[in-house]
Structure 1
Amino acid sequence: MTAVERGADDRTVKVTFMAPYADWQALFDPLLPGAALDTPEEFNTGWIEKIPVWGGPWKLGTADKTAQTITVVPNEAYWGTKPLLDSIVFRALDATAITEAYLNNEIDQAPGRDPDAYRRVSGAANTVIRTGGRWDETQLTVGRNGPLADERVRQAVANAIDRTALAAAQSAGLPFKVNTIGSHFFMPSQDGYRDNSGETGGFNVARAKQQLDQAGWASAADGRTRTKAGAALKLVFVVNSRGSTDLPQLIQNMLAQVGVEVELRKVPSNDFFAKYVNIGAFDLTYFRQVDNIYPSLLFPVYRSDGEQNYGKVGAPEIDKLLDRAGAETDRAKAVELLNQADVLLWKAGHSVPLFQTPQISAVRPGLANFGAFGLRGDRQYADVGWIS
């Protein structure tokens, strides 16, 4: 930016950029108060157990540490759309307790994405199920250490994985089809989506075996783990202990079919990112990425030097395409550049986008404008209300 100036009135700002920036809207979601964040002390401690500035339709009413609740009430100083509700109470609950709290009428909404949770909440009295397609990607991230330093091995990993079978497993017991994803940037329902997995990333067991052969990993006659110079082709799949091992086990079995041995290593949830993912201490790992409506939010994931490119797989050609797409204000042209970059990401074996997790929410029937918020994930709490 070269300038941030007052606009036509006190509620308008004029921002001038030094160069074209396609996703400028992302800078204003959310808006943060500079006056309460402009020193290290204010940033680090100024918001502990207090909220010094309110700039939206709600403000803090009460906070109850014992009950683990926060109540917000309408902010009388807000000049925009006034809330329909008199208050909203937010409760801190362990994930395992949410379904029970909903069934006990302690809360008015609960996720139903888990098949067991869906079975319980969908049959509950005074309940409707609302579904939507959020920007929500489960991605297998691939490292580049050891055998994975070879692009052919990374491609073989992608070729060995049947994403359709994984999505079908996720759909079991749910009323909502789980979509596979063939793009690193777009969801299937988004304008611009194209399945670019093709030869280098699509499910193809024969090609996976061929790639491993060409990389020098010899197959065993009895179908056991491949070897090279006396070493076994073994990968470590780091798994968050809080999550299910169902998906990793399916991937483990798929890779075994092409001669790749996979060790599933469950690590403490608190250590998963800090001690493993963030520092690239894995061969394979998986997690969700959500609400990346603006493609530039994903650039740190896919740039060679990106701070969220945990596997450190990239290429200068990809970086150049991302730079061009980020500066292209013609959406059609930007989408084409992103799809070109996507083709190269599949070729590089950066990661394997697996499927789009659906939104499934159990909600009280009279609660309007709340539940599954769809692709953008917008939660306009001022528009939420009870139908009388």
Structure 2
Amino acid sequence: MPAAQALDAATRRSLALLLAGALIPLAGCTSGEGGGPSSEGGGSGAARDVPHLDREQVASGRTLHWAVDSLPPTLNAFQPEADATTERITGATLPSLFTLDSAARPQPNQDYLKSADITAREPRQTVVYKLNPKAKWSSGRALGAADFKAQWKALSGRNKSFGAARNAGYDRIQKITKGANAHEVKVVFRKSYADWKSLFTPLYPKAVMTRPESFKHAARKSLPVSAGPFRVQKVHHGDTSVELVRNGKWWGDEAKLKRISLRVVPRDQRREALRKGELDLADVDVATVRSIVRAHKGGDEDAKSGKREGHSRKSAEELRAQAKRDGQLRHVAVRHAFEPAYTQLALNGAEGPLADERVRRAVARAIDRDALAKHALRGTGLPVKSLGSHLRMIDQDGYADNSDALGKQDVESAQSLLAEAGWKDGGAGSEPTSGADAKKGEHAQKDDKSDKGDDQKKDGDQKKDEKQGKGGEHGTDDGKQGDARENHAAGAAGAAAAPAAPVGVQEAARLAAQPLTLSPVTAGQRASLMTQAARLELGEAKSSGSASEVREARAQLTEATHARAGADELRLLSDGGAKVQRMKAGKPLTLRFVLPSGPGSEPIRATGTRIAKALTRIGVRTKMKQVPDEEYFAKHITTGDYDLAIYSWPGTAYPATDARPIFAKPAAAADGSLLVEQNYTRVGTNQIDQLFDQASKELDDGARNDLIKRADARIWAAAGSVPLYQRPQLVAASEKVANAGAFGFETPRYQDIGFEK
């Protein structure tokens, strides 16, 4: 069943994280300014990377060209379709009563608030907002209780006609009235709400919030009024950009920039746009970062760096020539920090083997999270550290590592848990297939030499891929013949290295049919030959116009896909620590591992491969399935069509509210279906729900943090979600850009952004 409507925005954010690339390995970048450390000592020193200049050192005027992924579908941040571009626009143009610092601590925004305090806890929580008397809408009307009241009624959930994306917190308000004067607003809650600082940000004028019709349309394509340092001048659908200009009615520090141009630039085109000087600020991918590094070095990369980046076959002259072509990139810097988002392994506990908590815990204990983080974050310039919390990020205030509730990697413990759950070794004994014991397999997983060997093999595959015009850590689809479905199937089947030169259709078919030695390498070669033969057959069949020949060729392509899956299984089983597959009631322990297939998802697939390899050491096999990115969430994650999956969730400054739907225990709906909200693992407990409920009402910060830690420990113990690592945030910025970069949790101060004098 789909997630509740109130949670669509967060699910879209998770999808956006996937499409933006699950992780970006970095060959080299600038050092950053660390943010404030967590009160629990989790500070990494990489909470933010924003070069700070005092306003006196920032030039007045000019236009900042800032890349975005898409035009905003709406400018109403509380509509279900609002996206990251909506958030960026509203942050610059509408009131934010509280902003976040680098440790995700809410801070009152003095441009709008003189103060905001809880003035009573009994019999009802009461908050009094004392507004800055200068705070006015661009229409000239002062911000006041009428705006607060209209927004509360629109978002409370009582009137379903508004169709608001969320009502958390607003549904706990009992009444809103004017305070002691026109610049005070008094909010009385019918039920205590700990995250009250999250409310009324952004704040919309009452004209947008009064009626369902105005809520849906008044701020969809434009903002009728603004109350920030910038205002929306126009949304250009022709050249896909949004123009923000200085707000002449703004009472605070005048914006240093005259204009911000938010331009839609696909991520694979941003390197060229930066090279031409068409962008000043952009989130970027690894290819762009490598080009920037190469341009700064002038192509003089040493052999180690070249090998790491997949350029070992390029001469120094070629690298220098590339650097010369990059040109303008010498004037671009890379800002890097930990993004407030994390990548997790999801274990679907709705049915099958993973419905048993012992099996989930065994799977979780079989993997080495530290080793996965090391591989995933290698070369990013960020501290290599696995994430120990579902509810707070590493640099966030209150962060604590609660993973001990699940336990560290322990192969013997994982095997015992499987045996306890009834999954016995399927062979005559419990020895690994190579004769090595499970403990040796565990040590082998941690051995850097073993990892290095794997990486060298993958580098070899990558070089062959690059020769055919492909990219990616593990290879992607290596041909463009046929329709999208055929290309996807072929991509999965053709991931291994193909022959150096094409062969004819007759020869490929003959070779594919030969009885080759049953080894991972030759099985992979056979799968590649089968794929090539099937593609050639399909091309000829389409040219002939014969429907029967097309069907036959497509069937051959499907067979090649199965052959590739078999070769992958052989490769996993060839590891010295692999055990005989476990069985129960005559059924093998096989888990469906669904991963995205898109070109930005190579790191996710690399992590998935390492996890699958680790699971072979406890006798668990995985059936890997790659699906198009656009289908990953809609057809697999939200519907529960998977056993194992990897995807990301955004972090939040308000976990008691925002994280609850992700871990809430699924409940039966009236029609008999399962209401999962955003808990796509379908794993939850009454205790977790109770702790979230208590935390959402606890007004004492210390007591609330304790409840959040306890909830996190319970989530770890349930083993439905295993955080692996916090994602990196890489931003390319023109060297003169000031007060902007990789913000992390921190709220940008738009009026201070500009260019150094």
TM-score by length of 2: 0.49
Shift of 1:33: 4.3
Which residue of 2 is the match for residue 363 of structure 1?
733
Q: Deviations over 1:47-87 (max 9, x none)?
A: 44333443322222233323221111012233444321100
**Contact 2:391 2:651 survives alignment (8 Å):** no
Which residue of 1 is the match for residue 250 of structure 2?
78
Describe the shift of the 1:253–1:269 C-alpha distance in structure 2 as closer, same or farther (beyond 3 A): same
* Separation (CA, whole Å) in 2 of partners of 1:239 and 1:136: 19
**Contact 2:338 2:382 survives alignment (8 Å):** no
TM-score by length of 1: 0.92
Which residue of 1 is the match for residue 652 of structure 2?
292
Greater Rg over alpha carbons, structure = 2
Amino acid paired to 2:740: F
Match of 1:35 among 182, 207, 216: 207
Match of 1:315 among 676, 679, 685: 685
Which residue of 1 is the match for residue 474 of structure 2?
none
* Separation (CA, whole Å) in 2 of partners of 1:46 and 1:383: 29
Shift of 1:336: 1.1
Which residue of 1 is the match for residue 289 of structure 2?
118
1:186-335 correspondence to structure 2 within 5 Å: 186-198=392-404, 200-221=406-427, 222=433, 223-242=579-598, 243-244=601-602, 245-296=605-656, 297-305=658-666, 307-335=677-705
Q: Deviations over 1:261-280 (max 9, x none)?
A: 22222223222222222222
Amino acid paired to 2:725: F
Q: Percent identity?
A: 36
Shift of 1:355: 0.6
Which residue of 2 is the match for residue 134 of structure 1?
339
Describe the shift of the 1:153–1:387 C-alpha distance in structure 2 as closer, same or farther (beyond 3 A): same
Match of 1:176 among 382, 391, 396: 382
Amino acid paired to 2:343: T
* Separation (CA, whole Å) in 2 of partners of 1:231 and 1:269: 31
* Separation (CA, whole Å) in 1 of partners of 2:177 and 2:371: 53
Shift of 1:44: 4.1
* Separation (CA, whole Å) in 2 of partners of 1:290 and 1:5: 34
The SS at the match of 1:276 is: helix
Amino acid paired to 2:188: T
**Contact 2:345 2:722 survives alignment (8 Å):** yes
Q: Deviations over 1:162-203 (max 9, x none)?
A: 111111112223222243111111122223222211262422
Describe the shift of the 1:34–1:193 C-alpha distance in structure 2 as closer, same or farther (beyond 3 A): same
**Contact 1:160 1:205 survives alignment (8 Å):** yes
Which residue of 1 is the match for residue 749 of structure 2?
380
Q: How many residues align?
A: 386
* Separation (CA, whole Å) in 2 of partners of 1:34 and 1:281: 43
Describe the shift of the 1:129–1:329 C-alpha distance in structure 2 as closer, same or farther (beyond 3 A): same
* Separation (CA, whole Å) in 2 of partners of 1:168 and 1:237: 22
Shift of 1:149: 0.6
The SS at the match of 1:125 is: helix
Shift of 1:7: 4.0
The SS at the match of 2:624 is: strand
Describe the shift of the 1:125–1:225 C-alpha distance in structure 2 as closer, same or farther (beyond 3 A): same
Amino acid paired to 2:336: T
Describe the shift of the 1:116–1:224 C-alpha distance in structure 2 as closer, same or farther (beyond 3 A): farther
- Shifted more, 139-148 versus 221-230: the winner is 221-230
* Separation (CA, whole Å) in 1 of partners of 2:748 and 2:589: 47
Match of 1:92 among 264, 282, 287: 264
**Contact 2:335 2:733 survives alignment (8 Å):** yes
Describe the shift of the 1:229–1:42 C-alpha distance in structure 2 as closer, same or farther (beyond 3 A): farther
- Shifted more, 157-166 versus 302-311: the winner is 302-311
* Separation (CA, whole Å) in 1 of partners of 2:727 and 2:692: 26
Q: Which runs of 5+ in 2 are unaligned?
A: 1-172, 297-328, 428-432, 434-578, 667-675
- Shifted more, 202-211 versus 219-228: the winner is 219-228
Describe the shift of the 1:327–1:264 C-alpha distance in structure 2 as closer, same or farther (beyond 3 A): same
Describe the shift of the 1:10–1:88 C-alpha distance in structure 2 as closer, same or farther (beyond 3 A): farther
Describe the shift of the 1:7–1:274 C-alpha distance in structure 2 as closer, same or farther (beyond 3 A): farther
* Separation (CA, whole Å) in 2 of partners of 1:45 and 1:274: 27
* Separation (CA, whole Å) in 2 of partners of 1:34 and 1:220: 67
Amino acid paired to 2:661: P
* Separation (CA, whole Å) in 2 of partners of 1:240 and 1:4: 47
Greater share of helix residues, 1 or 2? 2
Q: Are 1:350 and 2:556 matched, yes or no?
A: no
Amino acid paired to 2:717: K
Greater share of strand residues, 1 or 2? 1
**Contact 1:126 1:365 survives alignment (8 Å):** yes
Amino acid paired to 1:385: G
1:93-108 correspondence to structure 2 within 5 Å: 93-108=265-280
Describe the shift of the 1:25–1:95 C-alpha distance in structure 2 as closer, same or farther (beyond 3 A): same
Q: Deviations over 1:82-111 (max 9, x none)?
A: 321100011112122222222221111233
Which residue of 2 is the match for residue 143 of structure 1?
348
**Contact 1:304 1:315 survives alignment (8 Å):** yes
